[in-house]
Amino acid sequence: MYLITVFGNLLISLAVSTDSHLHMPMYFFLANLSFVDICFTSTTIPKMLWKIQTQSKVITYEGCLPQIHFLMLFAVSDVFLLSVMAYDWFGAICHPLHYMVIMNPQLCGLLVLVSWLSVVSLFYCTMLGVYLSSAATQNSHSGTVALVMYTVVTPMLNPFIYSLRNKDIKRALKGIIGVPVM
């Protein structure tokens, strides 16, 4: 599942960057989402696979802190980018004649930038709140299932959800793998 996630998201990023027909706001945000999904899964899954292979359940505080930092950073980035994509789709549907004027390259860059530096401040405020509040007890098994669903399954499905039903992405991917494009 990890390899499918990384490979699928890399293909989307490659397709968007190499095909000039995909240099539009929607695909710009999709490429950023793919990058964030790769980073998100790569913060935990390789370490988890190593721990499963070695039958080790120990993680040091020094190893946990950066892993949690980057996990939260990319998780919140994911949410913000999905919000920006929703705004983009709203503009394309509700104001189709003004869409290209509204969603100019500067605004797209600004939206992605705001999604990123906001994540940093929200991350630190949230972590401070969690640190200062008392921890609630919960079932370890249900927490593990939720973690796997959020960190593995969702990023794996994003390339399928956002691109395989899109004819422009399909055409670009066919061009990348060498299939004649009509």
Give the distance from CA 178 to its chain's centroid.
27
Q: Is residue 101 part of a domain?
A: yes
Q: Considering its fold, how many domains does the chain have in total?
A: 1
Specify the amino acid at residue 163: S
User: Residue 140: what pLDDT?
Assistant: 55
Phi and psi (nearest 5°) for 61?
A: -60, -40
CATH at residue 117:
1.20.1070.10
Q: What is the pLDDT of residues 43-67, one digit of tens each?
A: 988 888 888 888 888 888 888 888 8
Instruction: Look at residues 97, 98, 103, 113 and name the one whose alpha carbon lies nearest to residue 27.
Output: 103
Q: Is residue 182 part of a domain?
A: no
User: Which residue bears the tokens 């709203």?
Assistant: 90
The answer on pLDDT for 134 being more than 50 is no
∠ CA(109), CA(115), CA(121), 5° rounding? 135
Instruction: Look at residues 152, 161, 165, 124 and name the one whose alpha carbon lies nearest to residue 38.
Output: 152
Which residue has better confidence, 159 or 32?
A: 32
Which residue has better confidence, 167 or 50?
A: 50
Q: Which domain holds residue 107?
A: 2-177
